[in-house]
Amino acid sequence: MGLCLACADGGRVLIQVAGQVGLGGRTENAHTEGYFAVVAALVIVIISAGIVVNTGFNRIDLAVRRRYGLIDASGR
């Protein structure tokens, strides 16, 4: 399930920012041109970004729950 969440979070980097082509656009362009190695590399980048974002959100979530006493001493 963690990888699914990472992919979903990684999808957030697909959007177009400040008029620049996002990773989704680059992936589509590479696919259209037949550069499948580039497509695979971009998918790995998207998944990696999702893992990083997910890790950050998990740390923030844990800190908030600890602060308000929503978890016990074992961290669960």
> Measured between alpha carbons, how far is 45 from 63 in angstroms, rounded to an integer?
27
Q: What is the pLDDT of residue 7?
A: 57
Q: What is the pLDDT of residue 6?
A: 55
Question: Could you state, in order of their start, the residue ranges of all structural domains in the chain?
Answer: 2-67
DSSP letters for 14-45: GS-BTTB--HHHHHHHHHHHT-HHHHHHHHHH
> Measured between alpha carbons, how far is 8 from 14 in angstroms, rounded to an integer?
10
Q: What is the pLDDT of residue 22?
A: 73
pTM score over 0.85 = no
Q: What is the pLDDT of residue 25?
A: 76
> Measured between alpha carbons, how far is 38 from 25 in angstroms, rounded to an integer?
12
Give φ, ψ of 26 to 5 degrees.
-65, -40
> pLDDT 10s per residue in the chain (76 long)?
555 655 555 555 556 566 677 777 777 788 888 888 888 888 888 888 888 888 998 899 888 888 888 887 666 6
